[in-house]
Chain A
């Protein structure tokens, strides 16, 4: 089972937090801080798994994480999950975000928090993996957007919010997550799948 999904940036600012077990607010904050410190001190080319000690109250848990440019995606899982499988799942989630936001960047996560949650909801619910097929996930998300549009074009507003903010001076935010060597934007990716 996945106990928590945490996304934070290189400075430890949380960008997406989802706990699948009930923990008090302070405990959640502490877990986020400690996770950040654990992950931050590791170089990029060592292994993507680490034991998180008693962070979640048991030794059975592992942190599985990936670092994409400015963001860390960290999944905390118990021993019933396959480590490599979760690593793939993180990739699926990020690729899906990239498709839904067209070049996803940290700002998208900030200003479309609700949408990011909805996308995550199509991938993981209640700590279990719901769907791993990206086309299926994207189809669900698109269906949602259609419904939203049908109900009054609200979905246009957030994107204008983003452009509004992009005009406000926020020099430190890189525009794209830059998925690096993984190169998400292979146009013929869908052929493979």
Chain B
């Protein structure tokens, strides 16, 4: 019997817990907790050594306090001391405390590692188990350094107990996840693969998890696992439900292991014919079993059975090579679409989404369209409806686009707010992608704005304008339609924007009709003016000046409006400036000049839609939207205007009297003289940043395209190179060659005439982080001799920087996460330029990073953050620059998730100051 005092002690815990539960207010609770913390602290600090029982009790109390959401900043040392106890109970509670409360950066890790080392060497399976669990749970880099060599040995040793093997496998997996570089592949890998044949299914399950993760990065090393996994799977699938005893779960043989094995197989392409036949049999058996009557009515039975089935279907879709299986999978999912279990309907919709992209099953998926539409209308659960939207999007093609878009628009009227924006983007993309008749496209987008105007992002309405401008056949219709839509007493601001823009360009096409005469058009737009925000008003002012050109008969009316105090003396600088400039332009310019300046917009360069990128990003992590980039770029282009500029680009790039005219108040315009080839696009390029690719407007049915595009946007750049021949002799065999990076170029004409200039466009993709600038090697023959020139291209790693804004709290949290010494690079250097804070800020922003204000407690310091985008990864980067004015020195600290990147960025940035 335990001593009475101990019973009282646990009573102490009980009383403490119920005290907390009886606290009437948060303050009372905090007071009670602080009292307890003080008590425990004094007990830990006291001279008297505590017995294990008391320590356990106090540690339990601390865990309870932690669970309530209070930070625990002591007790770690006591917990570490418990690790070296010989008593199981004390050791166990010590390990528990450490797994829950010690973070991976703690300095205590060394002490903990010592204790773990002893326990691993103890040969006591219980102690080894505790130690391994602790490593798996904490998984810090220090632990990886200490144990990554040891654990594979434990894992493959012949005399290791099964339960220890299981723990060791998952432990290694965790260390590999956190520090893959510290877990080198070796002799043990082949022996790990053979664990797939182990007697103990628990060991096989753990080993399968480990192999799946390792195989993703080292497919060659583990490819023998495929045949072993198939034969293991085959044995499970064909076993009677009693064969596997304890591992049969509600009549389903080893469902968990089956799922894991099927996942492992998804790391590889379909195996060779011999193994493939056996795998196909397995998959068929699983599909057949789905048709058998259930062996139990319990939901667990159906869950376990279907978990295996869905995983099998995933594998079939992944292999995408057996039309017969694909169609069966599709039929099976079709059955689930109508199943009474919501979970199964959800999963069926999700799997079908991937199935829709396979050419073998796309048609089969389409047959379920009515069911999916019905799901959209009747499902009670928003998660399921969301899946239905996704599936409709995936199964859409030219044949059913009109129906699907109509249903989505329909659903949009009542859709949950959380998914509206996404639906809007999807509708916009589908309408564009599958538009045969562009009047349908225009109607759809206007409907979109009408139904969900608030969720229509700029990309969407920019895009409709771009398309209307590029397609002559739809312009008249668009003008008529927006004119009619604007008649509604309350219309969304986005509609005013689209309407203003389109009428400004093509209002003349409907002006013949007395119901939409110039004056009526103008009055209609102007009636909305006062309800709109500044950017929209600015756009409308541009429309007015375009009307002056289109309809000379209403010039005076417009001039009166521009001249009114509310315009000329508007408090907003942008509006005031526009009113002044436009009024002046309309007064002094001749009709010819007006016609040149205010000419119809030239067609936009045909390029991919940025809506797709937006959609992808919406589903991705919260990075800074590229909208920001667009805005920045635009404001530098066009006098700070915040909408697609309506004044024709030619006004700027033609050095004619019209440029002088604009010089009245818009001098900066002429400064931004872009390279001739892109003058048009730079000024009017509101649709994406410079990283846009040349591609058809309607991207066709390429499904990979979205993924490619999204990634492409950030990790690729475009460069224009001009080769000028200043001699009078022709260059022959002119061949520029690029070394390294992933570059796409169009070949250049092999001859360059004397005095001529040729242009080459280079699309650059950053495949991984790099140190050296790529080299351009130019060879040509000049008057009989070969010339060879090498120049470094100005492409440095920071060109792939995307700024990230974050709060002070986020910044420091991430800063701490990157505390590994190798992730940090520091440079202290003498200032080479005057130390001016504003210039420094501009340099940091120019470098590509975001400048975070009010993050560093010392206002003299500069802090920045951003992401380096490469094709394969994204590398988060944080930087801090501390100027020391007295010493004329800087200290620059870079922390990124990759050592080499920290190093390179630090070098690059240090040169700047």
Question: Which of A's residues lie within 8 Å of B, judged by CB?
Answer: 1, 14-18, 20, 22, 24-25, 27, 29, 32, 42-43, 45-51, 54, 57-59, 80, 82-85, 87-89, 91-92, 110-111, 113-114, 117-118, 121, 125-136, 140, 143-144, 147-148, 151-154, 156-158, 160-162, 164-165, 168, 170, 182, 192-193
- Decide: B383 and A49 in contact? CB cutoff 8 A: yes
Given contacts A54-B622, A59-B619, contact A147 B173 (CB under 8 A): no
Across the two chains, which residue of chain B brings its CB closest to A64?
A: B343
Which residues of B (111-154) have their CB < 8 Å from a CB of A? 126, 132-133, 135-137, 139
In the complex, whether B299 has a CB less than 8 A from a CB of chain A is yes
Smallest beta-carbon distance B584→chain A, Å: 49
- Decide: A154 and B92 in contact? CB cutoff 8 A: no
Tell which of B67, B135, B263 has the most Cβ of chain A within 10 Å: B67
- Decide: B247 and A125 in contact? CB cutoff 8 A: no
Tell which of B9, B14, B92 has the most Cβ of chain A within 10 Å: B14
Smallest beta-carbon distance B167→chain A, Å: 7
- In the complex, A50→B347 CA distance in Å? 11
Smallest beta-carbon distance B490→chain A, Å: 32
Given contacts A130-B166, A130-B170, A157-B10, contact A113 B255 (CB under 8 A): no
Per-residue interface assignment for chain B, residues 279 to 316, with 1 indicating a CB less than 8 Å from any chain A CB and 0 otherwise: 00000000000000000001110011011001100000
- Could you give 19 example pairs across A and B, Cβ below 8 Å? A15-B67, A47-B343, A82-B307, A85-B256, A88-B249, A110-B17, A114-B60, A125-B132, A125-B136, A128-B174, A130-B167, A131-B205, A134-B246, A158-B10, A161-B14, A165-B17, A165-B18, A168-B18, A193-B246
- B residues less than 8 Å from A121 (CB atoms): 96, 99, 133
Smallest beta-carbon distance A97→chain B, Å: 16
Smallest beta-carbon distance A160→chain B, Å: 6
Smallest beta-carbon distance B425→chain A, Å: 15
- Decide: B206 and A46 in contact? CB cutoff 8 A: no
- Decide: B2 and A152 in contact? CB cutoff 8 A: yes
- In the complex, A181→B7 CA distance in Å? 37
- B residues less than 8 Å from A49 (CB atoms): 343, 346-347, 383
- B residues less than 8 Å from A32 (CB atoms): 69
- In the complex, A117→B251 CA distance in Å? 29
- Decide: A45 and B621 in contact? CB cutoff 8 A: no
- Decide: A45 and B306 in contact? CB cutoff 8 A: no
- Decide: B343 and A48 in contact? CB cutoff 8 A: yes
- Decide: A126 and B174 in contact? CB cutoff 8 A: yes
- In the complex, A32→B18 CA distance in Å? 22
- In the complex, A81→B177 CA distance in Å? 16
Across the two chains, which residue of chain B brings its CB closest to A57?
A: B621
- Decide: B53 and A152 in contact? CB cutoff 8 A: yes
- Decide: B381 and A47 in contact? CB cutoff 8 A: yes
- In the complex, A148→B9 CA distance in Å? 17
Which residues of B (612-639) have their CB < 8 Å from a CB of A? 619-622
In the complex, whether B317 has a CB less than 8 A from a CB of chain A is no
Which residues of B (154-196) have their CB < 8 Å from a CB of A? 163, 166-167, 170-171, 173-174, 177
- Decide: A22 and B100 in contact? CB cutoff 8 A: no
Smallest beta-carbon distance A55→chain B, Å: 11
- Decide: B137 and A157 in contact? CB cutoff 8 A: no
Across the two chains, which residue of chain A brings its CB closest to B69?
A: A29
Across the two chains, which residue of chain B brings its CB closest to A149?
A: B89
- Decide: A46 and B380 in contact? CB cutoff 8 A: yes
Q: Which one of A29, A54, A84, A126 contacts B306 once the chains associate, using CB atoms below 8 Å?
A: A84
- Decide: B170 and A154 in contact? CB cutoff 8 A: no
Minimum-distance CB pairs A-B, first 6:
A126-B136, A84-B307, A46-B381, A126-B174, A47-B342, A157-B10
Given contacts A57-B621, A136-B202, contact A117 B21 (CB under 8 A): no
Smallest beta-carbon distance B449→chain A, Å: 26
- Decide: B307 and A85 in contact? CB cutoff 8 A: yes
- In the complex, A70→B282 CA distance in Å? 41
Across the two chains, which residue of chain B brings its CB closest to A30?
A: B69
In the complex, whether B1 has a CB less than 8 A from a CB of chain A is yes
In the complex, whether B250 has a CB less than 8 A from a CB of chain A is yes
Which residues of B (323-344) have their CB < 8 Å from a CB of A? 342-343
- In the complex, A74→B621 CA distance in Å? 22
Given contacts A83-B343, A83-B347, A87-B343, contact A130 B206 (CB under 8 A): yes
- Decide: A114 and B69 in contact? CB cutoff 8 A: no
- In the complex, A54→B789 CA distance in Å? 50
Tell which of A20, A49, A144 has the most Cβ of chain B within 10 Å: A49
Which residues of B (224-282) have their CB < 8 Å from a CB of A? 245-251, 255-256, 259, 263
The count of residues in chain B whose C-beta lies closer than 8 Å to any C-beta of chain A is 91
Given contacts A22-B104, A83-B343, contact A170 B251 (CB under 8 A): no
- In the complex, A167→B629 CA distance in Å? 65
Given contacts A113-B67, A126-B173, A129-B256, contact A84 B10 (CB under 8 A): no
Across the two chains, which residue of chain B brings its CB closest to A189?
A: B250
- In the complex, A168→B249 CA distance in Å? 40
- In the complex, A55→B422 CA distance in Å? 18
Smallest beta-carbon distance A36→chain B, Å: 12
- In the complex, A82→B163 CA distance in Å? 24
Given contacts A47-B342, A88-B300, contact A59 B87 (CB under 8 A): no
- Decide: B251 and A154 in contact? CB cutoff 8 A: no
Given contacts A82-B307, A152-B2, A165-B18, contact A160 B249 (CB under 8 A): no
- Decide: A59 and B621 in contact? CB cutoff 8 A: yes
In the complex, whether B892 has a CB less than 8 A from a CB of chain A is no
- B residues less than 8 Å from A154 (CB atoms): 2, 6, 53, 56, 89
- Decide: A84 and B9 in contact? CB cutoff 8 A: no
- Decide: A88 and B256 in contact? CB cutoff 8 A: yes
Per-residue interface assignment for chain B, residues 764 to 798, with 1 indicating a CB less than 8 Å from any chain A CB and 0 otherwise: 00000000000000000000000000000000000
Smallest beta-carbon distance A186→chain B, Å: 10
- Decide: A14 and B100 in contact? CB cutoff 8 A: no
- B residues less than 8 Å from A161 (CB atoms): 10-11, 13-14
- Decide: B103 and A117 in contact? CB cutoff 8 A: no
In the complex, whether B63 has a CB less than 8 A from a CB of chain A is yes
Per-residue interface assignment for chain B, residues 30 to 73, with 1 indicating a CB less than 8 Å from any chain A CB and 0 otherwise: 00000000000000000000000100100110011001110100
- Decide: B300 and A91 in contact? CB cutoff 8 A: yes
Given contacts A125-B133, A130-B206, A192-B251, contact A151 B2 (CB under 8 A): no
Given contacts A18-B100, A147-B88, contact A192 B9 (CB under 8 A): no
- Decide: A82 and B136 in contact? CB cutoff 8 A: no
- In the complex, A50→B173 CA distance in Å? 27
In the complex, whether B813 has a CB less than 8 A from a CB of chain A is yes
In the complex, whether B654 has a CB less than 8 A from a CB of chain A is no
Q: Which one of B256, B342, B347, B381 contacts A132 once the chains associate, using CB atoms below 8 Å?
A: B256
- B residues less than 8 Å from A42 (CB atoms): 381
- B residues less than 8 Å from A144 (CB atoms): 88, 92, 126
- In the complex, A186→B801 CA distance in Å? 60
Smallest beta-carbon distance B861→chain A, Å: 22
- Decide: B7 and A157 in contact? CB cutoff 8 A: yes
- Decide: B307 and A128 in contact? CB cutoff 8 A: no
- In the complex, A51→B619 CA distance in Å? 11
- B residues less than 8 Å from A48 (CB atoms): 342-343
- In the complex, A118→B92 CA distance in Å? 8
- Decide: A84 and B310 in contact? CB cutoff 8 A: yes
- Decide: A14 and B246 in contact? CB cutoff 8 A: no
In the complex, whether B384 has a CB less than 8 A from a CB of chain A is yes
Across the two chains, which residue of chain B brings its CB closest to A16?
A: B67
- In the complex, A54→B620 CA distance in Å? 9
- In the complex, A15→B66 CA distance in Å? 11
- A residues less than 8 Å from B56 (CB atoms): 114, 154
Smallest beta-carbon distance A77→chain B, Å: 13
- In the complex, A127→B209 CA distance in Å? 11
- B residues less than 8 Å from A148 (CB atoms): 88-89
Smallest beta-carbon distance B16→chain A, Å: 10
- In the complex, A73→B817 CA distance in Å? 29
- Decide: A133 and B173 in contact? CB cutoff 8 A: no
Further contacts, 12 of them, CB under 8 A, given A111-B13, A165-B17: A25-B69, A51-B383, A57-B621, A82-B311, A85-B259, A125-B170, A126-B173, A128-B174, A133-B202, A144-B126, A154-B2, A157-B7
